[in-house]
Amino acid sequence: MTTGLEAISFHIPHRYIALDTLAEQHNVDPDKFSKGIGQEKITLPGHDEDIITMAADAALPILQRTGVENIDTVLFATETGVDQSKAASIYLHSLLKLPPNCRCIELKQACYSATAALQMACSYVARKPDQKVLVIASDVARYDRDSSGEATQGAGAVAMLVSSNPKVLEVGTVSGLFTEDIMDFWRPNYRRTPLFDGKASALRYMNALLETWRDYRANGGLSYNDFQYFCFHLPFSRLGEKAHRHLAKANKTPANMDQALPGMVYNRQVGNCYTASIYLSLLSILENTQEDLTGAAIGMFSYGSGATAEFFDTKVLSGYREHLFTQRHQALLNERIAVSYEDYVALWEEADLTQGTPNEARGHFRLVGIEDDKRIYIDCRTA
């Protein structure tokens, strides 16, 4: 049975800081960011935006088109959860007015867990082909200011509707897997920002890429030359470029960067969005490649520090363009506003949500504040 994406959409907040501005503030060459890590902008959420509001705005266009019928599962992948007990998907379920006969859970494993959610969803709809699963990847990547990770911040959400009647992308049944216990990136409960060893993480990322590739091939996966494009988890775009060269070298093939660069167009403009990163890259290929991709095989490498990784294949389906939200997505990117360094600092600082939040979000949903230790969300269309 064929399973995969019936629809896919993303949402990002409307403000960003240009990395040229950050470079000027820190008295460094702008090329350190634009060429060194391959990034141009950091997307910044407002104090009335978080993983749940972004997720709701990412999913809304899909549900407006397809309806909510037969969605009986919501899998919400994030590593920037808002509660240690209650799943973010339950807040989302309420905002989107999904059917009450629905299971809602949250998944965590660094930047990888959206891939676990996607694979679980495909397995589920293969068993129950009349049902659909809403998969969410939503995160805010925030690092200490003046740290080596500051330029790799970002925020965004990707929503995917998984069904037995995919219209955009078929997800293959073969995967290559790899896990090892390492401390390359982690965030203890008492910290708002993560701890990390960037150089070690990049090395383990490359090792995991080859380990998952070997396992994928051993399990009967496609050969390297069968792929037309590759998507990589992108903490920053330059890492994806290095990964593509690394994989090509392992396969004794010259690296064709045209197979990887289309997947970095959006990510350069958005920044890191953890679980959503690889699926933003997938959308970047689907929406920025002029040629008809029907039948194209896209290799997917998903990595989550700590570490778990997976390589799997996907295939673009006939008529996929009719089911994308390209104009909406490009409007989101093009209509954002740049902020000053001072405004960036104000957005970075933690707000006292018990005092309410300024009404600044341009999406359809916002976080009003916290009352009696309870997060209060509203649908701005009906408020």
Q: Which pLDDT band, with edges at 50, 70 and 90, does 14 fall under?
A: very high
Distance from C-alpha of 369 to C-alpha of 134, rounded to nearest angstrom: 26
Q: Tokens standing for 33?
A: 């960011």
* The one-letter amino acid at 51: I
Distance from C-alpha of 234 to C-alpha of 90, rounded to nearest angstrom: 28
Contact 221, 313 (CB under 8 A): yes
What are the tens digits of pLDDT across the range 263-284? 999 999 999 999 999 999 999 9
In the chain, the number of structural domains is 1
Distances (CA, A) of 108 to 130, 131, 196, 208, 249: 27, 24, 17, 19, 32
Q: Nearest CA to 31 among 343, 40, 375?
A: 40
* pLDDT at residue 43 tops 90: yes
If DSSP codes are grouped into helix, strand and coil, which group holds residue 150?
Answer: helix
pLDDT mean over 304-325:
99
Q: Look over the chain and give the mean of its residue pLDDT values, rounded to a whole number.
A: 98
Indicate which CATH number applies to the domain containing 319. 3.40.47.10
If DSSP codes are grouped into helix, strand and coil, which group holds residue 371?
Answer: strand
* pLDDT at residue 230 tops 90: yes
Longest CA pairwise span in the chain (Å): 60
Q: Which pLDDT band, with edges at 50, 70 and 90, does 1 fall under?
A: confident
* pLDDT at residue 307 tops 80: yes
Strand order in the sheet with 4-11: 103-107, 71-77, 132-141, 154-163, 4-11, 169-179, 308-316, 297-304, 229-232
pTM equals: 0.98
Which position among 49, 93, 111, 211 bears the catalytic label?
111
Is residue 323 annotated as part of the catalytic site, yes or no?
no
Query: What domain range includes position 82?
Result: 4-379
If DSSP codes are grouped into helix, strand and coil, which group holds residue 24?
Answer: helix
Q: Which pLDDT band, with edges at 50, 70 and 90, does 383 fall under?
A: confident
pLDDT value at residue 36: 97
pLDDT mean over 103-115:
99
Is residue 233 annotated as part of the catalytic site, yes or no?
yes
Contact 140, 51 (CB under 8 A): yes
> Own/partner pairs for 82-91, CB < 8 Å, 24+ apart?
82/50, 82/51, 82/52, 82/375, 83/375, 84/189, 88/51, 88/52, 88/55, 88/136, 88/138, 89/136, 91/52, 91/375, 91/377
Kind and range of the H or E run holding 68: none
Higher per-residue pLDDT: 383 or 23 = 23
Distance from C-alpha of 365 to C-alpha of 374, rounded to nearest angstrom: 17
* pLDDT at residue 122 tops 90: yes
Percent of the chain with pLDDT over 70: 100
What are the tens digits of pLDDT across the range 185-216? 999 999 999 999 999 999 999 999 999 999 99
Is residue 79 annotated as part of the catalytic site, yes or no?
yes
